[in-house]
A and B are shown apart, each in its own frame.
Chain A
């Protein structure tokens, strides 16, 4: 595009000139789209002036207008993180102050004091920065149409992180309502690089409306090509495990050479372990800090501030630093362990060196031999600029129910109108009328086929068909429950008070199951310190600082996210093509050559199944390369089938790459095509899910989001006023009497897209149907070694509660008999 000298109106051009800057091409493109009243999606790498591009159209428009006497909200900004909204407000206020613009900018989050929220209602600022949850709350208020009536612009930051999950669903529904209140609203989506912008463009464009024009795509200039290396350790590369322990010294050397390093790890446990190990090596006393989701917010903010000030040399972090503003001049990103996906890795690498013209530097550190293959595949993907991504999920039904109740709180609606409005949101574009009606019935009366709750209706219907909340209590219930995130029950980690018996300073918090493996007196790592658990009091875990030679590294359950199909395809290909092996370290080449000699290499389009005896057991190992979650589901289903075939399976363990099942009987003669038949996704899956703990947890989340059971709020435990109700009991009753209920469907959708990874398992079974290569061996194959070493190390989520009870009971009987 041509750039004349006066690209921007006064005083904006002068402000840019004063800094020796020129507006970037994409910033002007955004401005042009906004001037034409069009929505746009800006995709640019971090450091590309994205935020300013999003706000510039509003700042210019606001500077042009006559200032009204009372405030009228002009621009709304939504961020996925509360803290980010606050930071961005500060960043936007700086140029506004420097240009002397008369524009009021405020934030509104869960932390905003009641008095200010009240005042914002009566006299809104020009620009409000908030979160999806706060937006939903504002929209559920009876004065929502007044409040948002003058809205011109809606800026959605980090849209790639929001659009495809439940918070994104909630946000999409809020946008549908905003459009109805303010028909001329233009949206600005800001996103990191994504493989396919189409779903995000749809998110910004009203669906099912032939008159609507598609949001415009604006692309920022790509940054310099990053320089990515895979650490080829001089040490022996382990066969299995995820710690990366063998390479800590080499990583430490890299940290010494760089000025600020971000060390990304995949789990909080790894963060604690890596942090402790680096400090063991830290003879130079380099300022190395720790940042993860369980640490106290104050602690995390301190680390961020220290990064910004440039006083740190390295930060060991989890995905908590994936998003957000830039906190300093990072010049090296280290990824410990496999990166899992090219897009995620790109995002993390983007954290290094935010000067656009200089390349980011990244070092991938494989923790074991299999991860070497994955890291090299990821390096190649980055060099090709290739990205992976999951297709967007269809709008969740529990979120839909929550939104319907919110809309009923704001005022009466006709079912037909609300249905049309909701279908304008991209995630709900294909919502069937039946699903909508079921959700409406659920909100009104519970939606049970046995209708017994007419007199307890939450929504009343007027003779004209207007739906409305029955009373203020129902509206209150909604306000307490809004949001798409359900926190796992968690305990505060507090230092024991010195003088009084009362617990003192809060170090952080951790989910309830974190403490299940700990007994009072146990020492464990937390926040880089060694703590001793003293006692548990209500919702506090009271600890003291201690010194211990052998502190435990508690395992956080947490969600394991599987590696991408994209990287899997690359690894499958490379594995079968020895001419590509020169990219691997010698140890790895030797290992693969050995496999070629004594067993088979898996072909990319086949499923290799090996059987062999080992230590009085018979093993079946297969190599789908389809990720931990899909393999876990496959393991559950295979063991059920093998049980029926009389193979007497004992256990299984999944890894990202392979699945190992062991049994009392030899499985070499099993009909493998029948064993791996797709029909396992029918009855076998159904009957297993009946008692699956994860399924019950998933159901609970849906029941909370949909508003059937109340959310727990911090502090409420102590008052004891709320009615808690075990969702397991509801699950059992619904499964028996109404398995097709809306909530059961919502839970099923979550499970299929979440912990079961059914789409991937389905694709796996389809891919390998008729293409199973069986290899009956006399002993363990080289390729099987990594998964064999995981046995006993991984905690396999078994759901045979009965077996656990039986064995717990037997243990006491044996004990009693032994001592007799």
Chain B
């Protein structure tokens, strides 16, 4: 299917089922909350998760870059799970990531997990960035007009045809988009959580499937029945 576009401030953005957002007019690809080396941060605490999360995430970003051939990539913060994550990168992953960063105009937006820019993957680094009417920032701001942010890891729990599905989503407000987390080991925060409500907008989920991104009406989504701890990246 061809993906429908999300419109805010008269600009059109194409959401991709891999979790990226493409702004065709600016040839800009936006990715968020990559959380590199989250797996090894668990390993430090004795939870030996499969050590392939960074590679999986890099593969996703590379696939997005192949699909859209952007001139610019904006990483919306929390690209690294913690301050030492960059040092834990496997040599192959480091090389692969460096290749991607070098190939375009790459911009790191700082996140709460990675307030300092990476040392070995040098690129432009900003707290916040503005292109035309649109501003790019890690943590979404209340009552924002023309903002693309990350941080909250939105997901939606859909009940339809006696099935319940919980999937990552783009949270789309009238003039604001909260990006899904793209990292392989990132969990999600239900779009009906207070954190979204307190932004002063009504968000509609654009849900990521395998083949497409699907806008879903709010009457089909539900809060989580059980509180899911840690699903929200330890923020």
- By a beta-carbon cutoff of 8 Å, the part of chain A in contact with chain B is 445-446, 448, 450, 452-453, 456, 458, 473-474, 477, 489, 491, 512-513, 515-517, 536, 538-539, 691, 708-710, 717, 720, 722-726, 729-730, 732-734, 736-738, 741, 795, 798, 801-802, 804-809, 811-812, 815
B102 within 8 A of A: no
Q: A723–B231 contact, CB under 8 A?
A: no
Residue of B nearest to A809 (CB): B214
Q: B184–A733 contact, CB under 8 A?
A: yes
Segment of B67-75, B126-134, B161-169 in the binding face: B161-169
Residue of A nearest to B219 (CB): A812
B211 within 8 A of A: yes
User: Which of B160, B185, B187 meets A808, CB within 8 Å?
Assistant: B160
If A446-B48, A448-B50, A738-B50 touch, whether A815 touches B163 (CB-CB below 8 Å) is no
Alpha-carbon separation in the docked complex, A795 to B165 (Å): 15
Q: What 8 pairs between A and B have smallest CB-CB spacing? A: A446-B48, A809-B214, A812-B217, A808-B160, A737-B52, A724-B230, A452-B51, A456-B43
Q: A812–B216 contact, CB under 8 A?
A: yes
Q: In the complex, what residues of A have CB within 8 A of residue B210's CB?
A: 691, 801-802
Alpha-carbon separation in the docked complex, A178 to B222 (Å): 50
Q: B220–A811 contact, CB under 8 A?
A: yes
- By a beta-carbon cutoff of 8 Å, the part of chain B in contact with chain A is 40, 42-53, 55-56, 90, 158-165, 167, 184-187, 207, 209-212, 214-217, 220, 222, 225-231
Q: In the complex, what residues of A have CB within 8 A of residue B50's CB?
A: 446, 448, 730, 733-734, 737-738, 741
Alpha-carbon separation in the docked complex, A734 to B39 (Å): 12
Q: In the complex, what residues of B have CB within 8 A of residue A456's CB?
A: 43-44, 46, 48
Least distance between B62 CB and chain A CB atoms (Å) = 14
If A456-B43, A737-B56, A805-B209 touch, whether A729 touches B225 (CB-CB below 8 Å) is no
Alpha-carbon separation in the docked complex, A652 to B11 (Å): 45
Least distance between A802 CB and chain B CB atoms (Å) = 5
Alpha-carbon separation in the docked complex, A734 to B53 (Å): 10
Q: In the complex, what residues of A have CB within 8 A of residue B43's CB?
A: 446, 452-453, 456
Q: In the complex, what residues of A have CB within 8 A of residue B52's CB?
A: 448, 450, 733-734, 736-738
Residue of B nearest to A737 (CB): B52
Residue of A nearest to B160 (CB): A808
User: Which of B55, B160, B163, B186 meets A811, CB within 8 Å?
Assistant: B160
Q: In the complex, what residues of A have CB within 8 A of residue B45's CB?
A: 723
Least distance between B195 CB and chain A CB atoms (Å) = 16
Given contacts A450-B51, A717-B226, A802-B212, 6 further A-B contacts (CB under 8 A): A456-B48, A473-B46, A489-B226, A538-B227, A729-B184, A809-B216
Q: In the complex, what residues of B have CB within 8 A of residue A736's CB?
A: 52, 56
Q: In the complex, what residues of B have CB within 8 A of residue A734's CB?
A: 50, 52
Q: In the complex, what residues of A have CB within 8 A of residue B55's CB?
A: 737
Alpha-carbon separation in the docked complex, A41 to B42 (Å): 47
User: Which of A710, A733, A805 meets B207, CB within 8 Å?
Assistant: A805
Alpha-carbon separation in the docked complex, A734 to B184 (Å): 11
Least distance between A553 CB and chain B CB atoms (Å) = 15
Residue of A nearest to B52 (CB): A737
Alpha-carbon separation in the docked complex, A51 to B210 (Å): 57
Q: B226–A453 contact, CB under 8 A?
A: no
Q: In the complex, what residues of B have CB within 8 A of residue A538's CB?
A: 227
Residue of A nearest to B206 (CB): A809
If A708-B48, A734-B50, A736-B56 touch, whether A798 touches B163 (CB-CB below 8 Å) is yes
Residue of B nearest to A812 (CB): B217
Q: In the complex, what residues of B have CB within 8 A of residue A798's CB?
A: 163
Residue of B52, B90, B216 contacting most chain A CB atoms (<10 Å): B52
Q: B161–A807 contact, CB under 8 A?
A: yes
Alpha-carbon separation in the docked complex, A538 to B159 (Å): 20
Residue of B160, B167, B211, B225 contacting most chain A CB atoms (<10 Å): B225
Alpha-carbon separation in the docked complex, A450 to B207 (Å): 33
Residue of A539, A720, A802, A815 contacting most chain B CB atoms (<10 Å): A802
Q: A804–B217 contact, CB under 8 A?
A: no
Q: In the complex, what residues of A have CB within 8 A of residue B207's CB?
A: 805, 809
If A474-B46, A730-B50, A737-B55 touch, whether A516 touches B225 (CB-CB below 8 Å) is yes
Q: In the complex, what residues of A have CB within 8 A of residue B163's CB?
A: 798, 801, 804
Alpha-carbon separation in the docked complex, A477 to B46 (Å): 9
Alpha-carbon separation in the docked complex, A512 to B162 (Å): 15
Q: B51–A448 contact, CB under 8 A?
A: yes
* 10 residue pairs bridging A and B, Cβ less than 8 Å apart: A726-B231, A736-B56, A737-B55, A738-B50, A801-B167, A802-B212, A805-B165, A805-B167, A805-B214, A807-B161
